[in-house]
Amino acid sequence: MDPGLLNTTDKPFYHGTRAELTPGDLIQPSHPTNVGEQDTMTPYAYLTPNLDAAIWEAELAIGDGPGRVYTVEPLGPLEDTSALPDHQSPGHPSMSYRSREPLRVTGEVTEWLLYHGTRADLKPGDLIKPGHTPNFGDRDRTTPHVYLTRTLDAATWGAELAAGEGPGRIYIVEPTGPMEEDPNLTNQKFRGNPTQSFRSHEPLRVVGEIIDWQGHSPEAINAMKDGLARLEQLGVEPLDD
């Protein structure tokens, strides 16, 4: 068997889309691609064990409905796309498996954990309040918002880019007031809100901590910091209104 082909079904898989589906529905391999020539049909159905990647796929999917994430089970062999010789990373979490056979919907993800990345040493019950130094822009000001996200990848960036000398930490949080989409990340380079980033004028309550998260490579962190430095040089400030 080709080493890129897998027959594994021992892990949960996700599929991101804008289609409205119900358990038992089949996601067929032939559907328009989300990028490039959108009238081109792909012979594969894509899935991933990474929830963040499925969220990105849902936000980038063509169509006008809300992005949806389903749990799915493959009905045939899977191919690991990262093992393909022509694989190119898009630079963000992406669907890592594909199949020429349909995927069966087993459920929909409707409940989400919310995360906050920082360097502060906190414990359950502590409040994370607005009024902190932002990660880029004028460091002499404080932000009137506190930020949170549904994706672990975005929280990881928050922990890695946060000011301070302590280790990066990622907390599970719950908002104590209304939250809104973060305009600094929504509908910018990508459509929608693929990082599922939000902000609030009210504090966040810490309910737990993620211990076993995996950071980005030093090269990726340096590239991100260089990009933020360029924004500062251009006088770009975060949208705080």
- Mind listing the pLDDT tens digit for each residue in 162-217? 888 889 999 999 999 999 999 887 777 777 889 999 999 999 999 999 999 999 88
- Flag whether pLDDT at 38 surpasses 60: no
Say whether domain 5-108 belongs to CATH 3.40.1160.10: no
| CA–CA separation, 63 and 67 (whole Å) | 9
Q: Kindly report the pTM of this predicted structure.
A: 0.78
- Flag whether pLDDT at 19 surpasses 90: yes
| CA–CA separation, 32 and 147 (whole Å) | 34
Residues of the chain within CATH 3.20.170.40 domain(s) are 5-108, 114-233
| CA–CA separation, 8 and 78 (whole Å) | 8
DSSP state of 159: H
User: C-alpha 159: how far from its chain's center?
Assistant: 15
Query: What is the model's pLDDT at position 138?
Result: 53
| CA–CA separation, 90 and 98 (whole Å) | 16
The CATH number of the domain covering residues in 114-233: 3.20.170.40
| CA–CA separation, 68 and 151 (whole Å) | 14
